[in-house]
Structure 1
């Protein structure tokens, strides 16, 4: 479907949401479009969008990947969809596999996996399992608002602590500080580290791009709290959007360092599949004076397209603008001491807990 004003849902109905529309996913055979049929004097009154959470009994919980540009080969995602509503989220297209829209459905129709911890314990207990760090927060945020009520992420961390299994967490949610006790204990043992994603220090821009994520100052406070608890913390500048937030890079890194971050990384804006039109709609609505320039710069770092999915390029882009971003990041990180290599998370402590009556070892 073309990008048109008719696709957009009234602002009053999507308050504190990121996407402006609810276009159907790429697998749907028919497109749905709401319009006024002319009957009556005014359109029917529609209630504001509410968040719905469906429960899914997961059969497996460890997701594997072989991507050469990722630093992990396994991950756990407690939720499908994300109420934070980040308009640029590269995970939005995954909602199309559920027959739902990567637009507003992604933010309002969530799926939770309440048996995630149980399944994880079973998978880690298999004799053939080989320990390697698990990443949490790679697709949707493990500390989105619904986690406060359901506690699935905390239960997962509890299993990992019981097994002495290494873990890395990435989030925009300040709720991560609730689990500072577990992450701190594991961090001091060399088993855990946490990442906080920062995109801007401007509260207004953050509220527009990431309407239900923690405010920038709150994320910085979360870095401080986790570091104080003993969990090593890094900051992820992501996404870097040329012409919109790239000018803040040095200030973001300095603020993260002052809060206690020990490392840093960055990712340029990625607009796979349905994310492209969703982001462009938002940009034209929120920043009409610079929308064309921002998209022109984005295309320059992705070979003339909205997005280049090629491994090795998709995270950093290419060309002069991408090279300048990389150079600025490297210089600022080195000056702040955020470029030092991290020791690998420990694997040698991994021990599945004994179940049932204790059995003496033969040797």
Structure 2
């Protein structure tokens, strides 16, 4: 077959780009990544500017997940495909080691494009190798997760000096079932926080996303912060829901079905980039800060972990 014929075959292949590049194994799209450290979108609302994500897409199916638009670049949709077609960077450990060899030491977020302890991790077990590489390079990092599977690596995370941020935005189970259908309930995540702290892990709560007009009432915020404090978290980092392109369509589509009377208010509250009104955001984060003060919890983005020497200094004899 000549080159022209090959080009013609490729041209009529209407499969999404990811399906042409990936190997489908155990229901996952297995790929070989060219890079694993990437910029965190400005709309994310977290402290780190750079992220490492071994998985893209997430079985937790959180309607407000800000990473949904990444699936569009793969030829998939930002809605149901993001929830069910998870992409695995099978070479993540080797790529990370190569990139860390020339990394400047900036803190990294782990698990931004998809929970790094979602069900795919049970199959691929990438996190122990990633934690080891980050620990050996003495790069400060924070793991973002909703999953109890992180307890499997608690000793590794403590040894590496990692921070873990468990996402608990509200404690109302009815809201959780509607907007985080694939994730565990708030009580199980609160117990996870306690278990991580007991295991010696620096564990905070990412109180995100706070949902306007659904989980932002004063009594809801107070109940959430009170239970976070009771779990022994080291601090709270509040983030109001972001609606960047991809996430916006999926979330507002659900809102139109479940709470149609709120759609117009959301349209007024969010700008084109998907950021909430500064006045609204400041009011909500201010309320949470006051509650944290009552319960003795640090509030806001934490200081990055202290970067340890890559090679321990030898003591003089």
Q: With structure 2 as the length reference, what TM-score do the two structures score?
A: 0.82
Q: State the Cα deviation string for residues 71-110 of structure 1 (Å, max 9, x = none).
A: 2232101011111111111111111100111111111111
1:177 maps to which residue?
Answer: 151
Larger radius of gyration: 1
The runs of 5 or more residues in structure 2 that have no matched partner are: 1-13, 15-25, 313-317
Q: Does 2:33 correspond to 1:74? A: no
Q: Does 2:298 correspond to 1:339? A: yes
1:260 maps to which residue?
Answer: 232
Quote the offset at 1:300 in angstroms: 4.1
Maintained 8 Å contact 1:180/1:225: no
| Aligned counterpart for 1:62 among listed residues 33, 37, 46 | 37
CA distance in 2, matches of 1:251, 1:115: 42
Q: State the Cα deviation string for residues 116-147 of structure 1 (Å, max 9, x = none).
A: 11111122223xx3212221022221111111
| Aligned counterpart for 1:227 among listed residues 197, 204, 227 | 197
User: Residues 323 and 232 from structure 1, CA distance in 2 versus in 1: closer, same or farther, beyond 3 angstroms?
Assistant: same
CA distance in 2, matches of 1:221, 1:243: 27
User: Residues 133 and 322 from structure 1, CA distance in 2 versus in 1: closer, same or farther, beyond 3 angstroms?
Assistant: closer
Quote the offset at 1:269 in angstroms: 1.7
Superposed, 1:1-363 pairs within 5 Å as: 52-65=27-40, 67=42, 70-126=46-102, 129-186=103-160, 191-247=161-217, 248-285=220-257, 287=258, 290-293=259-262, 295-302=263-270, 307-309=271-273, 314=275, 317-319=277-279, 321-339=280-298, 342-351=302-311
CA distance in 1, matches of 2:296, 2:255: 34
- Point out the structure with the larger helix share: 2
The runs of 5 or more residues in structure 1 that have no matched partner are: 1-29, 31-50, 353-363
Maintained 8 Å contact 2:236/2:299: no
Quote the offset at 1:154 in angstroms: 2.5
Which 4+ stretches in 1 moved above 6 angstroms?
A: none
Q: With structure 1 as the length reference, what TM-score do the two structures score?
A: 0.72
Maintained 8 Å contact 1:181/1:229: yes
The number of equivalent residue pairs is 284
Deviates more, 1:330-339 or 1:65-74: 65-74
Q: State the Cα deviation string for residues 10-38 of structure 1 (Å, max 9, x = none).
A: xxxxxxxxxxxxxxxxxxxx9xxxxxxxx
Give secondary structure in 2 for the equivalent of 1:112: strand
CA distance in 2, matches of 1:204, 1:137: 26
